[in-house]
Each structure stands twice: as structure tokens, then as C-alpha cells.
Chain A
Amino acid sequence: MIEFSIDGRSFDNKQVLSSINLSLEVGTSLCIVGPSGCGKTTLLNALSDLNGAKGSVTWKGNVPEVGYLFQQPRLLPWRTLKQNLMLVESDEAKVLTMLGAVNLIEYADYYPTRISLGMARRASLARCLLLNPDLVLMDEPLVSLDSPTAQQMRQLIRKLICDDAQKCLIYVTHDLDEALEIGDKIAVLGKSPSEIVFTADAETLSKDKLEQELRNQLGL
């Protein structure tokens, strides 16, 4: 079980997140949806100890190894894919195996500037997994991808993370279909300063019900 609480989060005296408590069974995934600007990315940044906002995160039990897949691939453009991954894992064999797992082995020596966004996202996923994280954070990893490429990426996420009984996933998205497909649980983050206002098992939830919850949050 991974459990954490966030004691609020604020930038320049503007509170973005209220107090948040969440827990995940090991091997499960949680999708977080919510209106734009509600603090979904801030929540992920807090869990990854980024961006220096005020407010602390308390982990119950051992602090998990966190792997963060940003919305943009954030690969170093002056390093090849293999070199990018070797900054995280020095064992070349492991790096090449991971590149193979995301179907990029033949592009190992390519620069990120010379491959498509979908390929760069896959390379970024491989880099994240090389950390062997207990908890994977994903911030809208399918945004701006065409439908077949997004489907390919979804399959990889399911295969490499959701099907791994040792990993937890927190997945932020605007796409409700995507959330219901990937998440074992769904959480809705309310308007800023936000808190978790609704949680449910994905199996028991319909898209209509989820949409209704979001409309309620937006006051529509």
C-alpha cells in the first residue's frame, strides 16, 4: 500500500491545493481528472518534490521510488535516445532492453530532434521505467498524439506498468475514456484550491456519471 498526505500547496501565497490524502494498493492505478487549472500537475510535482511550492508531502511507511513521465518528453535534445536513458541507468544492456520494450531499439542512436513526438514519449516512458519506480506519475502522456499513436502508447502503459503487480500508477488526464480505460480507481479533483471531491472504482463508474461529477465541479 502506498499512502500519502499533502498538507496543502501554495505559490506566492495563492493556495492551489488543499489538504489531500490518498492511498493506492500496490499494483493498482489511480486516474485523476478535474477542471483545467485545478492543480493536477501541481499534485504530481508535489509527489516528485518539484517546483518549490510551499507545503509538505508526508508518506506513510517507506517513501516509494517515484518515476515521473512529464506531459512533454523532456529528453535532452543534444543526447541520443540511448545517451538520454544512460543518464538514468548506466548499464547499457538494460537500456537497450528497455528501448526494445518500447519498440525503439533501431532508434537508439537517433537524436530526439529527429524522431516523432510519439517516439519521444515512448523513449521518455522507457527512461521513467529504468528507475524501476514503485510509483509512476504520468501527466497527460497522450496529449497531442494522433489516435493510432495514442493507442500504441496506451497499450505500452498497460503492459509495462498496469500489468506489473509491483507498480502503482497515478495518471492525470482530461480524457474520461482514457481515465476509465487505464485507472482501477478514478478521483476527481475539485476547483482550486482543490481537494479530492469524488473517488470511485472505475469498474463501477460510467462515463456519464463521471461527466456529471465534473460538471458539478465546474458549476455547469
Chain B
Amino acid sequence: MILGKLRDQLVALLVLLVIWFVAASVVNSSLLPGPQEVADSMYTEWNQGRLLENLLVTLQRVAISFTCAMLLGGLMGVLMGRIKVVNRILDPFLIMLLNIPALVVIILLYIWFGLVEAAAVAAVIINKMPNVAVTLREGARMYDPELEEMAKAYKFSFKQKFFDLWWPQLFPYVMVATRSGLALIWKIVLVVELLGRSDGVGFQLHLAFQVFDVATILAYSFAFIAVVQMIEWFGLQPLEKYATRWQRGDQRD
């Protein structure tokens, strides 16, 4: 079954490559380079060390801002989901944060704090945090009241409630926030880098944009997409599979 899924995905990828190759051949312009030129550009950037170096810089920013956004947004969402008065107080701020354009937050923080790393990371966190809060607020509202009663009747400790009762119920929502978070955060990080940093994938895209070097733009983009896909395949999917084994056909642990 896994081999069949892999085969289907490889076929889809191959079809896309063929379409791209044909389109690039027909257009025959440097503005739409073919797969070979993009691969050459990626190889050159890799050989010169720029691709790995900038990927790592961007990944570091993604990791820091993702972790902070998940923790802060998660805490905010769970508190809002569980405590009505907290929800009433924070809800207007949450709606405001959700509706502020990402670009406005980035520009304001750069103006107020300068083109520094802290402002860049903070801008990403502020952009992502409300999405996490909204998702986890829904999760916290969906706690099963019958299991809550059972935990009270059987005198669960706080640790037992957290790890055995609340966390498993929140986990699907955490996974949704994680997936959408990764997809959104790395895109915002690129904008932040493009506007105000002197390293990272976003900065390299900025340089390539100035000379209309589409092959390099695509090379960096695909490299980063590949990294995020690896995180999905080798990090998120196995984790989710393990955590939800009780929902599948597995009869036993």
C-alpha cells in the first residue's frame, strides 16, 4: 500500500516535470527556465556553499518562530477555550491580530526596532500566533466533559490530566496548527528576509529578483519545499501515526 502511494506520487511528479519541460521548451525564454537549468542552478549554489548556508539560516528562523508561535498561541488558545472570561477579554485582540496584514506587522517592527534579528523573528511569531490560538481554542472547547468528570471522580493528578486526558484530545488540533503553521511560517520568514535581512533564502531570492534570475529563484524555492516535505514525511507523519494508533485497526499497543 505504501509502495503504491509512493508510486502514485512519483508518477504525478514525473507528469509535472514533463509539462514543465514542454512548456519551457515552447516558451524558450530565461524567464521560464526548464528543469535542467533549475537543477544546474541548484547544483552551482550548493557547490559554492550558498544554498546550504542560507537554507540553514532560514530553517533556524523558522524553527525559533514556529516554536514560539506554537507555545504562545497554544497557551492563549487553551486558556481562551477553557476560561470564558479570558476568552471575552482576549477575543477582540485575537480578531485584530488575525486581520492585520503580515506585511504591516513586518514593516512596523522593522521601523520601530530596526532591521534586527529579534524584530524579524517577532514579526513572524505575531503573524502566526493568532492562527494557532484559534485552532487550539476550538480543541480546548471540545474536551469531553464525561472524561473530565471521570478524572475528577478518580482523583487524577494534574500531570495525569495533562498527559493522559487533555493532551490526547488536543493533539489533532496541534497537528492541524503545526501543518498550517509550517506552511505559513516559512513563507512569512522569506518575506521578512527579503525586506530586512542580509542572509537566508529570502535574501537570496531578493538578489536573484534584482537580476531576473528565475532559475535561482526556483532553485531556492524547490530546495526549501523539499526540506519542508522531508519534515512532513519523516517528522509529522510518523508522529501522527504513532499518536493515533488507537483510532486505526490496531487492536493493541
Contact = CB atoms under 8 A, between A and B. Distances in A.
Interface in A66-87: 66, 68, 70, 72, 74, 76-80, 83, 87
Interface in A94-128: 109-111, 113-114, 127
A111 B146 contact: no
A217 interface: no
Given A80-B252, A87-B154, A88-B154, A113 B247 contact: yes
A88 B147 CA distance: 14
Contacts of B168: 76, 78
Interface centre among A79, A80, A111, A131 (most CB of B within 10 A): A111
A109 B250 CA distance: 11
B164 A111 contact: no
B99 interface: no
A5 interface: no
A109 B252 CA distance: 5
Interface in B176-213: none
A80 B153 CA distance: 20
B251 interface: yes
Interface in A118-166: 127, 131
A70 B164 contact: no
Contact of B164 (A45, A66, A87, A109): A87
Nearest to A73: B150
Interface centre among B152, B154, B250 (most CB of A within 10 A): B154
A76 B166 CA distance: 11
B72 to A, nearest CB: 26
A51 B153 CA distance: 10
A110 B150 contact: no
Contacts of B160: 87
B241 to A, nearest CB: 14
A18 interface: no
B115 interface: no
A50 interface: yes
Nearest to A128: B154
Nearest to A74: B150
B156 interface: yes
A19 interface: no
B246 A111 contact: yes
Contacts of A76: 147, 164-165, 168
A114 B251 contact: yes
Given A113-B247, A114-B251, A79 B149 contact: no
A51 B149 CA distance: 7
A48 interface: yes
Contacts of B250: 111, 114
A74 B164 contact: no
Contacts of B252: 80, 109-111, 114
A131 B150 contact: no
Interface centre among B147, B149, B165 (most CB of A within 10 A): B149
Interface centre among B152, B153, B160, B253 (most CB of A within 10 A): B153
A68 B146 CA distance: 13
B115 to A, nearest CB: 47
Contacts of B247: 113
Contacts of A72: 146
Contacts of A51: 149
A105 B216 CA distance: 63
Contacts of A70: 146, 149-150, 153
A50 B251 contact: no
Interface centre among A50, A78, A79 (most CB of B within 10 A): A78
B253 A111 contact: yes
Contacts of A49: 152
Contacts of A50: 149, 152-153
Interface in A10-66: 45, 48-51, 66
Interface of A: 45, 48-51, 66, 68, 70, 72, 74, 76-80, 83, 87-88, 109-111, 113-114, 127, 131
| Shortest beta-carbon contacts, A-B, top 10 | A74-B150, A109-B252, A78-B168, A111-B246, A114-B251, A68-B153, A78-B246, A80-B253, A109-B253, A110-B252
Interface of B: 146-147, 149-150, 152-154, 156, 160, 164-165, 168, 246-247, 250-253
Given A70-B146, A87-B154, A88-B154, 9 more contacts: A68-B153, A68-B154, A76-B168, A78-B246, A87-B156, A109-B253, A111-B246, A111-B253, A114-B250
